[in-house]
Amino acid sequence: MPRRPGLSRPTAGRYSAPMPGALRIVLVQPSHPGNIGAVARAMKTMGLRDLCLVEPRHFPHADATALAAGADDLLAAARVCATLDEALTGCRLVIGSSARSRSIRWPQLEPRAAAAQLVAASADGAVALLFGPERSGLSNDQLDRCHALVSIPTAPDFGSLNLAAAVQVLAYEIRVAALQAPAAAPAAADHRAATADEIEGFFAHLERTLLALAFIDPARPGRVLRRLRRMFARAVPEEDEIRILRGILTQVDKRTGGPGGGSL
């Protein structure tokens, strides 16, 4: 069938820029296996391949394979993790997808800005984009692991997006950002952002020290720690900075007879 005048097919080279292989899509406690398959399909159409599942209710499953519609290889390679900590190991930037307002505000990004940050940060190592359970979204404890949140600007009177649809929208923005971004040079070894597991080690140490100092209430430590998490998320501390902070906490522990804090 002849093409209509003025229309042309996109050339392969125009859309063939490499996608960031270090960019990880993390689904936290997905309940419907069909959604997992549809997410895999959405990812593959945009060139993303790293899928991680935290406590999926049903996986592997025939419904996931059926909805993947040709993205079976992504399902076969998907990693199933017992905890969010495991899924985020090594990640230097974590952005969570959330539509709900929160009592303590997280840094908020539009999809295009979030995609640009993820693509740029992936030059230094793994980064992650988190999606919560279909019914409830990410909990506050799960959002504590994020540097920022991204929200898709839906219609104000009907903002309900299917999980796979949300992944598709953000995966598209990531692809556009990757196609437009200049080649990014990795950061110098002494200026790399701390990984999610290094940040968690610091916060575990900080909580122990603050409890020993009676600065926080053992019965209700969460609100103060959550505000501190938000402050450090905005700062995006580097690996060396986390080591310095851990060193300070260790010295505080020694002076006060506190709990120590473990190795740095």
CA 30, CA 38: separation in Å to the nearest integer?
A: 12
> Looking at residue 245, what is its pLDDT?
97
pLDDT value of residue 93: 96
Confidence of residue 238 (pLDDT cuts 50, 70, 90): very high
pLDDT at site 120? 93
State residue 260's pLDDT score: 54
What percentage of the chain reaches a pLDDT higher than 90? 72
Q: How many domains does the chain have?
A: 2
Looking at the fold, whether 211 and 232 belong to one and the same domain comes out as yes
Same domain, 164 and 207: no
**What pLDDT is stored for residue 215 in this prediction?**
94
pLDDT of 261? 44
Q: Cβ contacts of residue 22 below 8 Å, gap of 6+?
A: 50, 122, 125, 126, 127
170 and 206 part of one domain? no
106-157 pLDDT, tens per residue? 789 999 999 999 999 999 999 999 999 999 899 989 999 999 999 999 998 9
Instruction: State how far the Cα of 46 lies from the Cα of 111, in Å rounded to an integer.
Output: 15
- Asked whether residue 185 is domain-assigned, the answer is no
Let me know if residue 236 belongs to a domain: yes
pTM recorded for the entire structure: 0.85
Indicate if 46 and 139 belong to the same structural domain: yes
Domain of residue 135 covers 18-180
Q: Report how far residue 203's alpha carbon sits from residue 14's, in angstroms, rounded to the nearest whole number.
A: 45
Does any domain span residue 10? no
- Local confidence band at 220 (pLDDT 50, 70, 90 cut-offs): confident
Output the CA torsion 123→198→140→170 (10° steps): 10
What are the helix and strand counts (H, E) for the chain? 10, 7
Go through 173-189 and write b for each residue having 16 or more CB atoms within 10 A of its CB, e for each that does not: bbbbbbeebeeeeeeee
Query: Following DSSP, what letter does each residue of 156-183 receive, concatenated?
Result: TTB----HHHHHHHHHHHHHHHHHHSPP
The model's pLDDT over 175-208, given as tens digits with 9 standing for 90+, comes to: 999 999 876 666 666 688 999 999 999 999 999 9
Residue 202: CATH number of its domain: 1.10.8.590
